[in-house]
Amino acid sequence: MPWLYFNLKPKLLEWVTPWQLDIQTKLTQLETISIGQQCFIAPEAELFAEPGRNITIGDKCMIAANVFMHGPITLGDEVAINHSCSLDGGQAGIHIGSQTRIANNVTVYAFNHGMSPDSPIYQQPTSSKGIIIGQDVWIGAQAGLVDGITIGDKAIIGMGSIVTKDVAAYAIVAGNPAKVIGDRRDK
């Protein structure tokens, strides 16, 4: 429950702060990862970055247990990624704007395999256009985002939706494939 970290009493922060510093120091020493101030990263999270596939995490971000992240990925400030999400930046990367919330079991893949019947899928070349998620976006549990899409600021993606096309700012989308079902400004 990473959000609890930001509400801890001073007595608990005495042991939690050094524990988080240790986790984050190990990540930055082993990988090409930069981590902003006052972040929480669960020890069970798996972050993989290498030169050219960096992971950059803004201030006050929360990454829960069993999250898998493979760069290139950039998180703005105050981004929350809940448990068991899987994000792979492919070659072009994933950019997530500040104050965005991603619920559990969301998949975000910024690459795709070729599909020629002339060779097995695993031998196909991959392509990568990247994914841009705006600021103050809410992505519901078990949603899936495919390569090449942009989600506008303040949009909402419904639980279980598969997003295959761009989503306008303030749009509320749901379904498979996701379709506009409302506008956040009407709420």
Q: Would you name the residues annotated as active-site residues?
A: 113
Residue 21, both tokens: 């510093």
DSSP codes, 104-154: TT-EEE--EE---TTS-GGGS-EE---EEE-TT-EE-TT-EE-TT-EE-TT
How many other CB atoms are found less than 10 A from the CB of residue 121?
10
Residue 63, both tokens: 């990454």
Residue 117, both tokens: 């019947």
* Spatial CB neighbours of 83, under 8 Å, sequence gap ≥ 6: 42, 64, 65, 66, 67, 104, 105
CA-to-CA separations, 172 to 11, 66, 94, 105, 140, in angstroms, rounded = 41, 27, 21, 19, 11
Taking 3-state DSSP, the helix, strand and coil percentages for the chain, each rounded to the nearest 5, stand at 20, 35, 50
Q: Which of 25, 65, 59, 23 is nearest to 44 (CA)?
A: 65
